[in-house]
C-alpha cells in the first residue's frame, strides 16, 4: 500500500493524529473507538424496526469485525494486555 502525503493546503480535517504516536497507542485508541461505535450501533438496532433494524445490525457486525482485527493486531504487539471487545 502506497501512502501519499496530504497537501496541507487542501486538507479538510480539523483533527490530526499526534506526531510520534506508536502503533500500539493508535490501535488501542482505534479499539476503544470501535467498541463505542459498536455499542451505539447495537443500541440503535434494538430501537429500530424492519429494514432499518437489519441494516443497523449489519453495520454493528462490520464494526465488531473491525474491532476483532484491531485487537488481533494488538495481541501481536502485547499479548498480555486486555482490551475492550
Residue-level pLDDT at 78: 80
The predicted pLDDT at position 1 comes to 62
CA–CA distance, 28 with 46 (Å, rounded to integer): 27
Whether the Cβ atoms of residue 31 and residue 69 lie closer than 8 Å to each other: no
Confidence at residue 79, expressed as pLDDT on a 0 to 100 scale: 78
Predicted confidence at residue 4, as pLDDT, reads: 64
Note whether residue 29 is domain-resident: yes
Domain coverage including residue 55: 23-77
pTM above 0.85, yes or no: no
Per-residue pLDDT of the chain (85 residues; tens, 9 = 90+): 666 666 666 667 788 899 999 999 999 999 999 999 999 999 999 999 999 999 999 999 999 999 999 999 999 998 776 555 5
Residues 84, 32: Cα–Cα separation, whole Å: 7
Tell me the C-alpha distance between 68 and 66, whole Å: 5
- Answer for the pair 84, 28: CB distance below 8 angstroms, yes or no: no
- For the chain, the 3-state helix, strand and coil shares in percent, each to the nearest 5, are 65, 0, 35
Asked if residue 10 is part of any domain, the answer here is no
Residue 4 within a domain: no
The structural domain count of the chain equals 1
User: What does the pLDDT read at residue 12?
Assistant: 75
Amino acid at each position: 500500500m502506497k501512502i501519499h502525503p496530504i497537501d496541507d493546503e487542501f486538507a479538510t480535517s480539523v483533527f490530526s493524529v499526534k506526531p510520534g504516536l506508536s502503533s500500539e497507542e493508535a490501535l488501542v485508541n482505534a479499539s476503544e473507538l470501535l467498541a463505542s461505535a459498536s455499542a451505539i450501533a447495537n443500541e440503535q438496532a434494538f430501537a429500530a424496526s424492519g429494514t432499518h433494524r437489519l441494516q443497523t445490525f449489519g453495520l454493528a457486525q462490520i464494526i465488531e469485525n473491525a474491532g476483532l482485527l484491531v485487537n488481533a493486531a494488538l495481541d501481536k504487539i502485547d499479548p498480555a494486555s486486555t482490551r475492550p471487545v
